[in-house]
């Protein structure tokens, strides 16, 4: 599983590097920007420092802008993929398949894209999460290696996982969007296949 996730991460990096190049995006030194991010993949039972100075747990799936690192619990990825139960949880996760795992990786990587483009700090948590869903959809539609054809079952896996990621905690500053909003965001990316549409929909400056 570690090798599989590494391959997906590399594929996402290649996709966004090409997108940066075609859009004429440059780094601070004036060179064509490339998409790079560190990653920590935790096997079951392993922990690592988390974003806030504590330690990760079996459900950790996060991008930390402070150290530009994606932290992924392999156990959490498998729980969604295969329908397994995580420690401390009362019921197993619904089995949402392989594409839901790709969506999860692409979503967390999209937070790095937001950070690199300098929009992270100007957005609410809800806007950040919904745009990341949309950008994940753009990647999945545009990556020829993994998603040349969007088939009904694969599309359903992505949509189901996105919906399960929503919440109704409207007064919580960490509100990530309702299930329907999460689904709408990833579908926008899958259909539009254009990151500019994600920016137009979710960035306050557009």
Cα–Cα distance measured from residue 197 to residue 206, given in angstroms and rounded to the nearest whole number? 10
Is 70 exceeded by the pLDDT of residue 147?
A: no
Coarse DSSP helix, strand, coil percentages of the chain, rounded to the nearest 5 percent? 55, 10, 40
**Can you give the C-alpha Rg of the chain in angstroms?**
16
Instruction: Tokens for 88, please give them.
Output: 């401390």
C-alpha separations of 17 from 36, 45, 54 in Å:
8, 33, 32
Query: Can you give the pLDDT at residue 146?
Result: 46
How many domains is the chain built from? 1
Place of tokens 């920007």: 33
Rounded-to-integer distance, Cα 164 and Cα 44, Å: 22
Reported as a single tens digit per residue, the pLDDT across 40-82 is 999 988 988 888 788 988 889 999 988 999 999 999 999 999 9
**Residue 107 belongs to domain spanning:** 2-202
Q: DSSP E strands: which ranges in 68-197? A: 69-73
Rounded to two decimals, the pTM is 0.88
**Residue 123: CB partners within 8 Å, gap ≥ 6?**
114, 131, 202, 203, 204
Using one digit for the tens of pLDDT, what is the confidence trace for 187-198?
999 888 888 899
């Amino acid at each position: 599983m570690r090798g599989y996730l590494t391959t997906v991460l590399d594929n996402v990096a290649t996709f966004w590097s090409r997108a940066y190049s075609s859009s004429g995006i440059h780094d601070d030194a004036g060179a064509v920007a490339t998409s790079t991010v560190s990653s920590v993949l935790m096997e079951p039972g392993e922990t690592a420092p988390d974003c806030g100075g504590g330690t990760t747990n079996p459900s950790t799936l996060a991008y930390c802008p402070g150290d530009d690192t994606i932290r992924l619990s392999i156990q959490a990825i498998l729980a969604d993929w295969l329908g397994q139960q995580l420690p401390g949880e009362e019921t197993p996760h619904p089995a949402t398949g392989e594409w839901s795992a790709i969506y999860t990786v692409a979503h967390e990587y999209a937070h790095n894209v937001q950070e690199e483009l300098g929009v992270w700090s100007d957005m609410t948590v809800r806007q950040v999460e919904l745009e990341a869903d949309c950008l994940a959809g753009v990647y999945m539609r545009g990556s020829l290696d993994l998603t040349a054809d969007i088939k009904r079952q694969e599309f359903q896996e992505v949509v189901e996982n996105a919906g399960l990621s929503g919440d109704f905690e409207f007064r919580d500053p960490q509100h990530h969007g309702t299930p329907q909003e999460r689904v709408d965001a990833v579908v926008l990316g899958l259909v539009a296949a254009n990151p500019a549409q994600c920016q137009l929909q979710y960035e306050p400056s557009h």
